[in-house]
Chain A
């Protein structure tokens, strides 16, 4: 199953180290392939370095792609994280 979803970065400082760390932690045990696509660049979302190198600022819009057995569950967690600004202001 392959899911895609468009999300917006709401964190004031963008998707910096702390939220990026959280994303990778969320994805640690998931069995799906997860990608972020931003400005035609697609990266492996389990790679914190790749996320940081996207340098996503506040209000950037990315496309999350999830493919695998736990795709639905994984997508839900991620979207929730983005919407709640990963617990930040």
Chain B
């Protein structure tokens, strides 16, 4: 191991703001989530012993099993287990692995898994199926041994050491969802953009997150301290005392700031000249409703229905959906809820076989296009929502509308479903509010036409930006081009808001920029009356709204509309924010 005293500074892409000071934890994702970490030289013999014990336990299992099969006279089974016992004594799985643990000073399960992978390749090359089949025995052994090894080590992020800053190649939603917040201070990954679902979950959990960092070069610093600045995307490995003191002070200040913001909870979100703004929450699970109440959200501005069924292999049934929507509706006790129908395809994949791989999923059969094709699934969801709406204030929103034709088709299906339901159930409302998600530029350009046929609109800025700029938001090579302040985007937002206001239908913004206080004044100035954001950001945004006047916001928007590049507009809103909120070290870097 190298001994370098100086600081190492890496610059990544900031995803979720916040400061963390901790120890690195390298989370290597393999198929089975086999962890991979270095072992201190002096602990290597302990690791060898740990491997031997796991192997011995797995052997005991097989001996027991063999005895039972013997009693039942399952001769073939006994023979197979006999062979497995021999395999477990095989020098390739005993001495060789032990030697490798010593020479590479790595954890047993990673070396073991590598060895098994090597065997697999060798067996796959064998043409005789009889021999090829024998790999199954090895797999069986591998499973047993790994399960004993993993007992004492980490498989998931629910169980990392305290004060960890997790480094990974890529993080899945489940990884982040599973993470124990009291132990995981921050996330760092190589891949993943700011609007990937993993990022959304990190934001909802309030865990600082930086991407576009390759961790291999710093893997040898596993015992060093690491500072992560989620505001700038900077990672400082091995910080000197001065840097460490600086960041510790910053962190304390930020924590104090957050506590003051909590006090805003019961104050209304209105500008200081009395202009009322709707502030609701984006919600993807039942658990987040509790957060909404805690942080003082008015309602659910966007219920992402597809995320409410994270582990479903198939589309959830009408009854399953009804049960879930009903409990959400009940927990909201009469406050408004907007349920968005399944937005599947692209990155929000439901893991369903019905969705065949497409060469260009973002321009493919997703969201409303998919639902209109699979009318059975669509109707089941509409039925579930309509039935649940009996107990509360529910609206339905449709994702990725790109033409008036689609909206009219959707309305036709709703009408059909309503007629069917009225025959079966008593209290089905004869009318439900329906809204369009405006996230495709063509929809933005015809929103005067759409406004006549719906009750409200929501601007999904994440997708609108990606479609307007033709930039894949998950492509880390293009992250610089994904610019929310692009004049084209600002003009589209202005157009949508203008038309919606003209037709007297409410319009909200529910993308990531709605949760960034530096955008708040600009959005209000463009005429937005309602924001929908992750519950955690409500206090912050409310604070910003309460310190902004609508006149100032209008002027700021006018100024922004005169500028010609994304950078100029970004600089403007950052500079204005700095002037108005000079003490916010969270955003003023």
Contacts and interface: CB of A to CB of B under 8 A. Distances in A.
Interface of A: 13-14, 16-18, 20-21, 24-25, 44, 46-50, 52-53, 55, 57
Interface in B349-393: none
A44 B92 CA distance: 10
24 contacts: A13-B130, A16-B130, A16-B131, A16-B134, A17-B79, A17-B137, A18-B83, A20-B83, A21-B82, A24-B86, A25-B86, A46-B91, A47-B91, A48-B83, A48-B86, A48-B87, A48-B90, A49-B119, A50-B90, A52-B131, A52-B134, A53-B123, A53-B131, A55-B127
Interface of B: 79-80, 82-83, 86-87, 89-93, 119, 122-123, 126-128, 130-131, 134, 137-138
A24 B127 CA distance: 24
A47 B90 contact: yes
Given A14-B131, A49-B87, A21 B92 contact: no
A55 to B, nearest CB: 4
A55 B122 CA distance: 10
A49 B123 CA distance: 10
The secondary structure that dominates the A interface is helix
B130 A14 contact: yes
Contacts of B86: 20-21, 24-25, 48
Contacts of A55: 126-128, 131
Contact of A17 (B83, B91, B119, B127): B83
Given A21-B82, A25-B86, A50 B92 contact: yes
A14 B90 contact: no
Q: Which 10 A-B pairs have the closest CB atoms?
A: A55-B131, A55-B126, A48-B86, A17-B83, A21-B83, A47-B90, A24-B86, A49-B90, A53-B122, A21-B86
Contacts of A49: 87, 90, 92-93, 119, 138
Contacts of A50: 90, 92
A4 to B, nearest CB: 21
B178 to A, nearest CB: 35
Contacts of B79: 17-18, 21
A62 to B, nearest CB: 15
Contact of B126 (A44, A48, A53): A53
Contacts of B91: 44, 46-47
A14, A24, A55, most chain B CB atoms within 10 A: A55
A76 B331 CA distance: 80
A72 to B, nearest CB: 23
A53 to B, nearest CB: 5
A16, A17, A24, A44, most chain B CB atoms within 10 A: A17
Contacts of B90: 24, 46-50
B83, B86, B119, B138, most chain A CB atoms within 10 A: B86
A36 B131 CA distance: 17
A47 B115 CA distance: 14
B115 to A, nearest CB: 10
A44 B91 CA distance: 9
